[in-house]
Structure 1
Amino acid sequence: MNTADLGLPVDVPSTALFTDQYELTMLQAALKAGTAERRSVFEVFTRRLPEGRRYGVVAGTGRVLDAVENFRFDAGVIGFLREREIVDEATLDWLAGYRFTGDVLGYPEGEVYFPGSPIMRVEGSFAECVLLETVILSILNHDSAIAAAASRMSSAAGTRPLIEMGARRTHELSAVAAARAAYVGGFATTSDLAAGFRYGIPTVGTSAHAFTLLHDTERDAFRAQVDALGRGTTLLVDTYDVAEAVRTAVEVAGPELGAVRIDSGDLLLVAHRVRQQLDELGATDTKIVVTSDLDEYAIASLAAAPVDAYGVGTQLVTGSGHPTASMVYKLVARAESDDPRAPLVPVAKKSSGGKTSIGGRKWAARRLDEDGVAEAEVVGTGPVPAELAGRQLQVELIKGGEVLAREPLDVVRDRHIAVRAGLPLSATQLSRGEPVLPTEYVQVPSGN
């Protein structure tokens, strides 16, 4: 959800300058050439998944819808462009009245994708579509990278909940987006209050080592925390000696102690020792939370440990080694003239170096095997084969400039978990491998 869903006021600034200068200089040239109003189709896709990843996760769609809706060249923005002489006065006049009036289709947020999947399709005049390239890519590339890492971590964690706690490891605004993307990928909570305020994500938090060090003794720190937050709080037990801290924690809070957190050391070994000690002290219901620079591999290695929850920071907000999804935004079809009735013709980049693309407006469908498990991503132009008509992946997001598909974040999160469950079992393997589904192209000549 966003702040509007919560009934909270928010000052939404223009997103028009979240772009590259060449978007505006191309616009100026197209306006002068008389080609700016040609009907055009742009698609977002990736040529490959990050090395070793089995699937990608579509995340950030809701943020894209907000960004498109708020893409406005207000007086301040126009003044900046005029002062810097970025574009001429005729272009500034055009920008002052800019509103996106086209259509956007795409994979629903939380879906998975593969190389070549037309994740998002933007249709309208060249002028209005080209301006959105950078803001769309910046959101989808960042959020999808974080969601993919989160999905792998969620899969490795199984039924154990994950806490997003990476705000201090990235830009303050990126942290909010990362918390949202992590929730899409399967995380349960965040420590970032701005993410909780903006998107309604459940928030958690107790204390750090500084709180323990503030007090004369560890017992004093624990007593202060329990007095303030109750016996169900989580006490951090690795500031000094873990065994002594666990003993003190149970003495202070009693067997009703909510949880202990371990933030250093050999987590597998320490977790077993702490669990045994808690049980011996009668705190059999006290949970164990582990943190300390975890990634999906570390989480998987703790599968046999008596751990109840994981807190993840740095590796999550940096995409666990892959901070971008490498998506691109390419023109795939354009009209032969400015006439609104002019047919679309496919266009595509044909350069060397692995950066070619396939022209034409595309549909996408996922074929299932006889057991209902996904077996291929099918991408095509022209008519959709009858057997795939009910398996199409793209949905309308914006129609005639009006947003159609805002969804509560819980719906998006549940969608991802369900879609991931419908992939072959090898999708959850952490070992390096090829995409779990092949991408099959079906090209049928048509007027597009």
Structure 2
Amino acid sequence: MREILIVGGGYAGFYTAWGLEKKLRPGEARVTVVDPRPYMTYQPFLPEVAAGSVEARHAVVSLRRHLSGTRLIAGTVTGIRAADRTVTVHPVRGNAYELRYDILVVTAGAVTRTFPIPGLVRQAIGLKHVEEAVAVRDRLMTAFDQAASLPPGPERRKLLTVTFVGGGFSGVEGFGELLSLATSMLRSYPELTADDLSFHLVEARDRILPEVSDKPGAWVVRQLERRGAHVHLNTQLLSAEGGHVVLSDGEEYDSTLIVWTAGNASNPVVHNHTDLPVDERGLLLVRADLRVGTDGGPLPDVWAAGDDASVPDLASPVPGARTVPNAQHAVRQGRLLARNLVADLRGKRVRNYRHSSLGVVATLGLGRGIFQYKGIVIKGFPAWLMHRGYHVLAVPSWERKIRVLAVWLTAALTGRDLVSLASVQHPRDAFVASGHTQGVDRTKEGSTA
């Protein structure tokens, strides 16, 4: 029985394994997925998780529940050697070890791209994982609680100042949703006013949302500014030391919450720790049929898809174009990869990947959105409904669709659940504090019990 090893359980990896479970015959091959997380994150829901519109657990899909016939290894692949068909696995607990394979599928996914900006790593938080989205929400709500007990002044202003760096889809959606959340929370805090809020979106280019055309992008900027936001175009973050933001346009201010969404970088294992061919961006060179290699010849039994794969875009009129790293491509590449793997195992013909864009849709906060398909542009509430409709259909499994719909319907009747659970990130603090208060050495007590 051949061993199919899938590196990464994100979009492309999950859909590849899911498809293989449905298509492989008993005993035809064994599928193994290596990923440090026990779930696939449905990233389009992260802005709504940050805004409290989607429950965090509903934005992820359990690998064990939906890949019941797949061997799952909780760990990270830190090295790939196609020459001897082995990978190095560093498990969540324990020592690293070598794992052999017959067929390799690389779907490791991208990582957040950062720059050596003073204070960035210490002060900022990303928006790529569900844990980060939950932390963003809780930090904003905690800031409201703290600001309400302070008199007007610099400290209150800093607590209620939010900065997003990066004007792509993730940044703009997260920014719009968090602005919507903050505005709605003011009704519960009579001590605070809209003038206390200060939201900044920083983008190095001269426009936001590069996936849409110029006019819809400019409309989004105007819409955000009408809601009180500050949009800084052609601007870079120079420093974030101690929460003091310094921008290249000369503006400086203090900000408690800094969210970094300025793009992705290739996974380190693909970029630095493999003998597989990569391009100048550190992405795997992939043929149209999703085999790793060039048109001159593929590497035997090595396939790739998703954000770390440089796949020819056969639907583009531009010669040499590659598919952009987004969910539309990752999901469809994963599905095709499962079909091609089964076809190759059975000696049948594999198919090339070709997908024409279905358009782009973004949420800008509760009841606000934008959609574009070629020359068709829809704005406002209808686009927001389209955003929710598309993603509830796209999230894997009926179980997740039902859970998300139930939360949305409940929120429509009762409103968002505006409660911070920031203390969950430090669950032992109350226990330790109670021990100090009572003068009990709990470490000693536990050791003699």
Question: 1 or 2, which has the higher strand percentage?
Answer: 2
Decide which structure has the larger Cα Rg and report it.
1
Could you say whether these structures have the same fold, taking a TM-score greater than 0.5 normalized by the shorter chain as the test?
no
TM tier relative to shorter chain: under 0.3
TM-score (norm 2): 0.25
TM-score (norm 1): 0.25
Which of 1 and 2 has higher RCO (CA within 8 Å, sep 6+)?
Answer: 1
